[in-house]
Structure 1
Amino acid sequence: DGQDVAGLTNYKDTITRLHGNPAAITALAGQLGITTPLGIAAVTARIANANAQVISGTYPV
Structure 2
Amino acid sequence: MRKGNMGYILGMIGVASLVMSYVVPARTNWWGLFLGISIVLNLLGIVFLMLSLKELQKSEGL
Smaller-chain TM-score bracket = 0.3 to 0.5
Question: How does the TM-score come out when normalised to structure 2?
Answer: 0.44
Higher percent of residues as helix = 2
Between 1 and 2, higher relative CO (CA 8 Å, sep ≥ 6) is seen in 2
Bigger radius of gyration among the two:
2
